[in-house]
Structure 1
Amino acid sequence: MQKTICLLILTWNAVAKTPNNTERDEIMKLHAEVRENVEPPARMMMLLNYSLKLENLTEAWLKNCSYIFPDAKLYPAYAGMNYTIMSSDPKPTLTFADLKKFVAQKDKYNLTTNNCSAGVCEDYKQMVWATSTHVGCAKHQCSFLNHSSEYAACIYKPSGDLENGRPYEVGQSCSGCPAGYLCDRKQCYLPGGETFTTTSISSRLPLCGILHTTMLPIYLIMHISSVKILTWNDP
């Protein structure tokens, strides 16, 4: 009896990039500026710290070339986090400076009604989420079919309800800072505070940890690079 099997060959580029120190500084300056200039002002806005742990988690996620965030039930390290992500399409590459494009969502977001006038505003809301204290970012070059694009993403901790919640409470800047915190650029910080320490994690998350069953067919269609038909005869 002749049997035939169709193999879908999935490929992605294994080139990942974490920020250098200069790029980390740029990421922090961007976030500090955006959080400083929220309108109306925030009564409590934490000053973000850069986290190498979150950077590593972002890198491990992006190596799967998927927009789908890891399932925290399977990967507890991703619990209590939110993220922003962008693709370079139609361009082949992007830089960490391109994260500033999310700031344009500010003009579409109404804090009073908690509504977005057009498109999405969740990326901007996350950038100015008052209780987030740490951020880490990474990039990854991915190849699909006959083109390639680059993903850039940042993971934030702790998280909040981006879909239904407001990113901050209105009031006099720093009037709601926790006890013992100081104010810099309208943001609260704890003197001598430290970021998360670097931890070692898998260089790429298993695909089953990223994809839900309902998303797998879509993922396959997007990532198929070739189809091979294998035929053999049973003795």
Structure 2
Amino acid sequence: MHKLICLLALTLYVLAEVPSEEERRTLEECHSKLRESVDPPASSMHLIKYSVQLEEVAQELFIYCASDFPESDPTYQDMGFVVVASEDEKPRFNDLCKVNSTASKSSEGRCDDECHNYRQMVYDTATDFGCFIGVCQSSEPVHVLLCAYKPSKRGIGSSPYEPGESCSKCPAGYECYRKQCYIDW
């Protein structure tokens, strides 16, 4: 039994992936480019940075692959998520760099997965995110790229930010960098 548990743990480890330092920088840059280029401009878009703590949260969420997400768990309150899933091939971290504003203009007024992912990535108050790739084991294994964002909310409405002149409504003490609000500690 002990050998079986070790084998399962090793299998999950092999199927799991966290981004390298270079991939984290690339993810951060993709988010910054996407956020600075929103149209119309955002009045209080915050600069977002990569968080190893949120990477760990994304990794922890894989225990819910085959069950309902724990909506009421306080650990996941004030968080939003981006999910890229495929039964065929494993997503790559740089797949997030392919998300663009055309995804927010979905047909028939519906917001599909790409639209949701775009809205989450440009949610103006989010300041931290972390990502993880794993496999959800079920009848058909599904490769999943999951990113957690904070602060955020699930079910972002039609506008993930307040339009206006870039940085015109940054909080007191914040500066403007790449059309995004940030505080220099």
Please name the residue that 1:90 is paired with: 88
Does residue 124 in structure 1 map to residue 121 in structure 2?
no
Q: From the superposition, tell whether residues 97 and 139 of structure 1 become closer, same or farther in structure 2 (CA, over 3 Å).
A: same
Where 1:17 maps in the other structure, the secondary structure is coil
Q: CA deviation at 1:88?
A: 2.7
Are positions 1:25 and 2:19 aligned together? no
8 A Cα contact 1:65 1:151, kept in partner: no
Q: For residues 139 and 183 of structure 1, do their structure 2 counterparts lie closer, same or farther at Cα, with a shift above 3 Å needed?
A: same
Deviation at residue 19 of structure 1 after TM alignment: 1.4
If each structure's helix is expressed as a fraction of its own residues, which one has the higher value? 2
Structure 2 length-normalised TM: 0.81
Within 5 Å, give how 1:109-148 maps onto structure 2.
109-110=104-105, 116=109, 119-120=112-113, 121-145=115-139, 148=141
Q: How far does residue 50 in structure 1 lie from its aligned partner after superposition?
A: 1.5
Q: Distance in 2 between matches of 1:67 and 1:124?
A: 25
Which has the larger strand fraction?
A: 1
- 1:172 corresponding residue in structure 2: 165
The answer to which structure, 1 or 2, has the higher relative contact order (CA under 8 A, 6+ apart) is 1
Q: Provide the rounded CA distance (Å) in 1 between the counterparts of 2:152 and 2:168.
A: 22
Q: 1:32, CA displacement in angstroms?
A: 0.5
| Larger of the two Rg values belongs to structure | 1
Equivalent in 76, 87, 94 of residue 74 of structure 2 = 76
SS of equivalent to 1:58: helix
1:185 aligns with 2:182: no
Deviation at 1:96, TM superposition (A): 0.4
Cα offsets for 1:78-128 (capped at 9, x unmatched): 11111011113322x12101123432xx21425xxxx84673411110100
Normalised TM-score (structure 1): 0.65
In the other structure, the counterpart of 2:35 is 35
What does the per-residue CA deviation read over 1:215-235, in whole Å, with 9 as the maximum and x for residues that have no partner?
A: xxxxxxxxxxxxxxxxxxxxx
Q: State the identity %.
A: 35
In the alignment, the residues of structure 2 paired with residue 142 and residue 109 of structure 1 have an alpha-carbon distance, to the nearest angstrom, of: 27
CA distance in 1, matches of 2:40, 2:104: 12
Q: Which runs of 5+ in 1 are unaligned?
A: 1-10, 193-235
- Give the gaps of 5 or more residues in structure 2: 1-7
Aligned to 2:4: none
The Cα offsets for residues 186-225 of structure 1, whole Å up to 9 and x where unpaired, read as: 0011002xxxxxxxxxxxxxxxxxxxxxxxxxxxxxxxxx
Residue 99 of structure 2 aligns to a residue whose secondary structure is helix
